[in-house]
Homo-oligomer: A and B are copies of this chain.
Amino acid sequence: MSFELTILGSNSAAPAHSRHQSSQFLRLENHTFLIDCGEGTQMQITRYRLKLGRLKHIFISHLHGDHYLGLVGLLSTLNLRNRQDALHIFGPPGLDDIISLHLKYTETVLGYKVHFRALDPNQSEVILDNQQLTVTTIPMDHRIPCTGFLFKEKPKKFRLKKSSDLTQMSFDEINTLKNGQNVMANNHIKYALKEYTDPPYKPRSYAYCSDTRYNETIIPYIKSVDLLYHESTFLSDREQRAYETYHSSARQAATIALKAGVEKLILGHFSIRYKDLSPLLAEARQVFPNSQLAIEGQKVSIQLDSHEQEA
């Protein structure tokens, strides 16, 4: 029942101060996802002993090199490992051209299918919908087409308490309880929901917002998420520079987190100019105390919480 994010890269623009470029590895139960894929991502995956066997979906936010230049190498390595399962890549229009051109010149025919879906940077779309979660794009405010991604678990079922009565229930009766209803018989309650179940776990959610200017239009998409990654390239004394380069300050990232009422904020996409990142963290915590830095190799988990499901 894990919902675990591993930071693979936290730097913007170019690798520096032993920090790599943007990439994150998200594990949600038996699904694994890769979000952005800067140069060296495949080495980082190896360094942190992450497994690629279950990776079926890669999400690329935009076509700045620090977010995608590790992709072709990763595809090639998966091919060398005799991958056979299809891989789904979501990214901006043009990413497919780039992949195709590399494969053409390397004279490579991948042994697995790549399904590419071009994302529309101007509107939010549900791009993945399975039994466990949905993935929805979030339009970012960046210099070139760019989308964030919201990973949200599906509403969960009520949890059956231990009871000897369960053995007497039919499959339909158990499903009725799991779906949050009393089991009725002749207009009477046969098995009461409260007696036989605990409330469902709250569906967990993670929003990845990089790269973007400070822009409050993203707030409705990320409202109340458990975990928000928001780029914070600069300190607030460079907000003019952030605006000009379509980036955000740590203070701005924290302001978005506060206004969206999220549970926890992770700061990342740090400018090369900052070797010591503690001033960025301090600045964010002044606005939003539950902030932390994206540290490579660090895992951030969202625990199951049995609060009542939101309406």
Contact = CB atoms under 8 A, between A and B. Distances in A.
Interface of A: 13-16, 20, 39-40, 42-43, 46, 63-66, 69-70, 72-73, 76-77, 80, 92, 94-95, 97-98, 101-102, 104-107, 143-144, 272
Contact of A107 (B76, B107, B144, B272): B144
B39 A70 contact: yes
A105 B63 contact: yes
Contact of A42 (B14, B42, B104): B14
Contacts of A102: 65, 69, 98
A98 B69 CA distance: 12
Nearest to A14: B77
B46 A16 contact: yes
Nearest to A64: B106
A104 B94 CA distance: 10
B73 A69 contact: yes
A3 B77 CA distance: 34
A101 B97 contact: yes
B72 A65 contact: yes
Contact of A105 (B16, B20, B98): B98
Contacts of A73: 14, 39, 65, 69
Contacts of A43: 15, 20, 39-40
